[in-house]
Amino acid sequence: MNRCTAAITAAASSGEEADPTPLAIDSSARRFTIAAEATRYMVRSVPPLPVLHHDAVLAAVTPDDAIEQVRRGFCRHHSGEWSMPAKVYLPSPPFGDFRAMPARGDGFALLKWITSFPSNPASGLPTVQGLICLSDADTGTPLMILDARSVTALRTGAVAAVAARALARSDARSVGVIGCGLHGLWAARCLRAAGYEGGVACDPRPDAARAVADELGGAVGDRTEALACDVVCCVTPGTVAIVERPDLRPGLHLNMLGADGPGKAEASVHAVAACTLFCDEWDQAVHGGELTGAVAAGLVGRDAVRDLGSVLAGVGGTGAGRADDEEITLFDSTGLAIQDLAIAAAAYEAWQAGSVPAQTIEL
């Protein structure tokens, strides 16, 4: 069998179709051109891919939709209907790290490739950058590419609202936001959509604090004033503990959103150990979240922490996250690919419905 015939036979037996480009083959001093025979084995290219840029993602999914989709994603993952392998970190010292985050559910598969480069703003670049590829889980066909920065901000804000609804006191209303970057802004925006309003925004950047305060219908204030609110969201880089044991008081709910990798923490280990604890996923939180230090110090064990998915699914009781109004609850959010999948799938469906336009690319 000569090489051209072998190539066609191999393509046919593998289930793939060969490139129709004419092949010039030199065999035994003779040159053969194969064209027509190969055309029926033409490789199908990836269909034109819709691409949603930052603003298009935020236009495609409202805060209310994001909250509901993220809540649903947690429940589907808890029930085993959605799967999510562990997040992979690729350090790029001393600058930051890359993260690869896969998930699958409801006929979709997703891979998120995103960064955390804390010194980027000094160069005029975002700390968080990346993209998401959404594929058909049945065929593997790529369906859409989305800006990862906007998806991350939207699902981070949404999970703050989901956790507050599940874990804060039923009469909680005011919100304190410590750290008023992009994720702090979206936490405020989603909490306002969830029915919380008023409170205090705290950030060393006055303009950033004012923008978040405006979202809350609240005021700019200091750390102590923010911690006096009913629900407190900490959304800092996680390099310094900003919540200490004396800051805690009965009835407080804390959303710890900034510690999303090894070595980060926004609360001291003694403050963490004094709370009733919840996390998005134990395996991820214990090696790169708010719980990591307290677990390493022997102050917190697995039996002291409940997954948010189990609370939302009502496992182990009525589903109420807190036992009474005096409890101090803390939710450790490290960021899950199932949350990204929930938002990306909603954005794709909004595009399919004609609610938002998209750019297209061909591969």
Ordered alpha helix ranges (H), 46-131? 54-60, 63-78
Residues in the chain: 363
Please answer whether residues 104 and 82 qualify as being in contact, where contact means their C-beta atoms are separated by less than 8 angstroms.
Answer: yes
Helix (H) or strand (E) holding 1: none
Taking the C-alpha atoms of residue 166 and residue 172, their distance in angstroms, rounded to an integer, is 11
Tokens of 126: 């975002």
Paired residues of 23 in beta bridges: 34
Taking the C-alpha atoms of residue 4 and residue 33, their distance in angstroms, rounded to an integer, is 9
Taking the C-alpha atoms of residue 332 and residue 281, their distance in angstroms, rounded to an integer, is 9
DSSP state of 107: T
Tokens of 240: 């310094």
Taking the C-alpha atoms of residue 105 and residue 103, their distance in angstroms, rounded to an integer, is 7
Of 72, 87, 99, 112, which is the active-site residue?
Answer: 112
Taking the C-alpha atoms of residue 148 and residue 315, their distance in angstroms, rounded to an integer, is 32
112 catalytic, yes or no?
yes
Please answer whether residues 346 and 65 qualify as being in contact, where contact means their C-beta atoms are separated by less than 8 angstroms.
Answer: yes
CB atoms within 10 A of CB 313: 16
List, by residue number, the catalytic residues: 112
